[in-house]
Amino acid sequence: MTSSPRILIAGGGTAGWMTAAYLARVFGQGAGAPRITLIESPDIGTVGVGEGSIPTIRTTLQTLGIDEAEFLRDCSATFKQGIRFDDWEVEGTSYSHPFEAPYFTDGAGLLPYWLLQDPATRPPFAEAVTLQKRVADAGRAPKRAHEGGYFGGRMNYAYHFDAGRFGNLLARYACLYGVTHLAGRISEVETGTDGIAAVISPEHGRIEADFYIDCTGFAALLIGKALGSPFHSVRDVLLTDTALAIQLPYADPQEAIPSYTISTAHESGWTWDIGLDSRRGVGYVYSSAHSSDERAREVLRTYLRRYAGDNAASLEPRLIRFDPGYRKAQWVRNCCAIGLSAGFYEPLEATGIMMIEVAIGLLVDCFPFTGPADASAALFNERMCQRYEKTAEFLKLHYCISRRPEAFWRDNADPATIPENLRALLDMWTYRPPSRFDTLTDIDIFAASSYQYILYGMNYPTDLRAQAPIHSRTEAADKIFARIRAFTDGAIRDLPSHRDLITQIYAHGFAPPPALKRTDPFLTVSR
């Protein structure tokens, strides 16, 4: 590459602008730093299902130098403390996957003691081992107004946000950090011995670069159409392939805002329900092999009636088709795909933005300023494929242990649709719970505790009776369970409602702790 490599990012949206802002922020604008250009068509909107995130987004926003209050206001954002799953095990059941890890003390966890309790009388797993489930159920925020502004707080959290407005915020920061923005279409892609030679734009002519990043979404203009990197479908594992999405204003502007995504299972898929400050983002993800589009619309309308009444019949959602899967070669010669052009799974567990964050971080570490790119590309492709494979297993777990009777759910429980590694783990988890040795750091996005929340939220039958003698500290464990309940009671009393905290931040930002002055360096947000 040249001493100051030229990077062209094709496509905007969350993937393109997050990539642009991150690279510009990390690589800087000094001598020898890459010159980054982003070209996007003003006629292409966002997919609109990526309105949730996981806690890693806070680190990304900090790296980008974005103030938390500014992000919340500009993106109509709210706090997310996890996901509530309704009707997934069977109709009428509910469980939570909070972001807080289970309480851990004295070198041992509480899970074995919870498993050895009477299933008929013990509290739900997430409630027994964390404060967060009851805090979120009570409509409380994850922190108080003076505990933030720099992404801190009492509890682990992420956000819900307007994807379009988030893209605009990222674009503003990317341009502030020196990214050149071109509004225009890509009509042709030229290839050569090094991969992509140039892109042709009717508005800007021929554009050359040393390295290209494909953020053109499902179109995959560079990595797919130009370079021919094949797409690997996992439709045999993850059966959903269609989504209906709609935005619904609140009937009451002061309506309580849930601080978790509400995921509700239905006959052929599930609905997401995300609360922003002035509207809900709602959608139905389903399998076209198990439901017609018209039947899916009726399922979604039935769900929406709880909010829109009879007006739900007139609401027309947007239809989105997708093939769940990923490209095994996401970096080919001088082109790397990030976002939908690299792969896409259903929005369960907010894996879309998470994969963008992972890919950007890996690209920064592997970026070939000098020397051949082959080794970097091979490592990038191997690591990203491993992440996609493990994420597919984690998503499949939500489906395959369900006891719902419909054909869609029976097919998901069919061993032929369950990856071999997950089948082996499920067999082991019949006799012992998931541990940290079942997940691999830097490959598994979700820790062992996330698997525990899903398994035991859905009453997976792990039988620990043979191990009961080695878990003899029952009295000490009971005291810790009681302490968690007491801490939770205190948190519910002390924390503001989610709606009240959002209103406070939108109007006034974060108030500093009473013991600190505004000149305290720890309250200064980097710009």
Active site residues: 80
Cα–Cα dist 333/335, whole Å:
6
Cα–Cα dist 133/95, whole Å:
9
Compute the residue count for the chain. Answer: 527
Positive or negative, the CA dihedral 446, 270, 52, 385 is positive
Cα–Cα dist 138/461, whole Å:
29
| Contact status, residue 220 vs residue 341, Cβ threshold 8 Å | yes
At 196, list the tokens. Answer: 């992509």
Cα–Cα dist 301/469, whole Å:
53
| Contact status, residue 176 vs residue 74, Cβ threshold 8 Å | no
| Residue 323, C-beta contacts closer than 8 angstroms, at least 6 positions apart | 231, 233, 235, 241, 344
Cα–Cα dist 456/434, whole Å:
11
State the Cα angle at 59 between 248 and 29, rounded to 5°: 110
DSSP 4: S
At 499, list the tokens. Answer: 């709606």
Which residue in 356, 450, 444 sits closest to 156, CA to CA? Answer: 450
Q: What is the residue-wise DSSP string for 154-198?
A: SS--EEE--HHHHHHHHHHHHHHTT-EEEE----EEEEETTEEEE
Tokens 């074995």 belong to residue: 112
What residues are paired with 198 via a beta bridge?
190
State the Cα angle at 454 between 453 and 457, rounded to 5°: 75
